Structure 1
Amino acid sequence: MTSTLSYSRDSPAPQRPGTFIVFEGGDGSGKSTQARLLRDRLLELDRPVTLTREPGGTDIGERIRALVLDHGQGEIDAHTEALLYAASRAAHAHQLIAPKLDAGRIVICDRYIDSSAAYQGAGRGLGEENITNLSRWATEELLPDITVVLSVDVADARRRMADRGAADRLESEPDEFHLKVQESFRSLTSDATSGRIRVDGTGEPHEVAARVWEAVAPVLREEGTR
């Protein structure tokens, strides 16, 4: 079963003046690099922008990040892992993302709800819909305006991770796990109305950044008119 998350809501959600952009994809897909490059481009254009990440973004979120990603924290079963991610996301949404959007800023987030659907829902076998619904409850339906899903094959991703050194708990999972995650992200972009755009993550960072800009520019042009 694939995640049911889309960016249409069953009930009205607050209309915020800011724009919420999320980068998703498997480990080694280039999310963090592209999120920073988009932030830098927007700063050059004098746009008010905040870059953040998951898990993390708040004091409690960063502490949870260490629990779920660092080695040596003891056994963390799949359900506990999923709930820790949801707790970090709840703090992130309420303490940082929503206030920044209410202030009219562009918020760029490195990972969000789709990552939990892919990693804990598909990778851990807890069910993408279950995990998506948990995150929607935790964030009170604070959903992105657009999600950029960067796509690279697992072999390329592994090479990139090897180049950058030590792997965290999830990066250290076997290829079978990462293939499930990749397939989940692929399925999420199969619906053209979902608010997600699949972007080829192969090539030099500036080449990928040009594709990302092409994807997000229409949403940014609409900013302030929604």
Structure 2
Amino acid sequence: MSKAGKFITIEGTEGVGKSTNIAFITQWLSDKGIEIMHSREPGGTPLAEEIRELLLNKRDEQVDSRTELLLMFAARCQHVSQKIRPALDAGHWVLSDRFTDASYAYQGAGRELGFERLEELDDWSLQGFKPDLTIMLDLPIEIGLERAEQRGEKDRFESEQIEFFKRVRDGYLAIAKAEPERMKVIDATGSIKQVQQQIEKVLSEFYQVNSPAINKAEL
């Protein structure tokens, strides 16, 4: 699918440093004359943000894994149609904190729904729409959860058991193995400088291929 702008996503399990490195990616691209529109999942539009609250809030009622998955894709469809596609069609670059890979990892692998049925839902709802580049920050689960503990009160996902997150990480790595050209795995165990050196290498290669048609966006 042809897009005028470029769509970059950042993925990873809890505590891998997404927020810090989103700021780094934004600054790096800004230095190249690219203005980035930020978004996140679940969320990104008023309706999708309401669905986010439904998904993240703790509740006494058990949330069925299929319900969770369908809500994720409901929010995503709204996000893509109302925010991401219009921005890309206008020539803007979009950077999202998570996207469809998160559903494969969290619901497909973590909730053990499997990838096959999820692929059917993905194909039907998004019709082949994917990021141009995905940066996956990879960290041993124990280290990531220890870092996440410092953020304060946990949401419904963050409260899951360690085995769940191990399956999530395995899910992400399976996607990276299947789509190495799109998803780039960054070893997030080192210092911030070491991590960002890896990210910069990925961005430099991506920029060299995609820089000719860059236009600064009024966002």
Q: Does 1:92 align with 2:79?
A: yes
Q: Does 1:16 align with 2:21?
A: no
Question: In structure 2, how many angstroms separate the alpha carbons of the residues matched to 1:180 and 1:213?
Answer: 28
Query: Residues 198 and 97 of structure 1: is their aligned pair in 2 closer, same or farther, counting only changes over 3 Å?
Result: same
Instruction: Please give the TM-score of this superposition, normalised by the length of structure 1.
Output: 0.88
Structure 1 residue matching 2:178: 3-state secondary structure: coil
Q: RMSD in angstroms over aligned alpha carbons? A: 1.7
Structure 2 unaligned blocks of 5 or more: 214-219
Aligned ranges 1:53-202 → 2 under 5 Å? 53-72=40-59, 74-191=61-178, 193-202=180-189
How far is the alpha carbon of 1:19 from its aligned partner? 0.9
Query: Residues 106 and 170 of structure 1: is their aligned pair in 2 closer, same or farther, counting only changes over 3 Å?
Result: same
Letter in 2 for 1:80: T
**Cα contact 1:149–1:199 (8 A) shared by 2:** yes
Identity in percent: 34
**4+ residue runs over 3 A deviation:** 191-194
> Partner residue of 1:218?
205
> Partner residue of 2:217?
none
Question: In structure 2, how many angstroms separate the alpha carbons of the residues matched to 1:35 and 1:73?
Answer: 34
How far is the alpha carbon of 1:194 from its aligned partner? 4.5
**Cα contact 1:55–1:88 (8 A) shared by 2:** yes
Q: Structure 1 stretch 121-130 or stretch 58-67: which is displaced more? A: 121-130
Q: Structure 1 stretch 195-204 or stretch 50-59: which is displaced more? A: 195-204
**Cα contact 1:36–1:51 (8 A) shared by 2:** no
> Partner residue of 1:50?
37
Instruction: Please give the TM-score of this superposition, normalised by the length of structure 2.
Output: 0.90
Structure 2 residue matching 1:108: 3-state secondary structure: strand
How far is the alpha carbon of 1:225 from its aligned partner? 4.8
Query: Residues 194 and 214 of structure 1: is their aligned pair in 2 closer, same or farther, counting only changes over 3 Å?
Result: closer
The number of residue pairs the alignment matches comes to 213
Question: In structure 2, how many angstroms separate the alpha carbons of the residues matched to 1:59 and 1:68?
Answer: 15
Question: In structure 1, how many angstroms separate the alpha carbons of the residues matched to 2:70 and 2:140?
Answer: 29
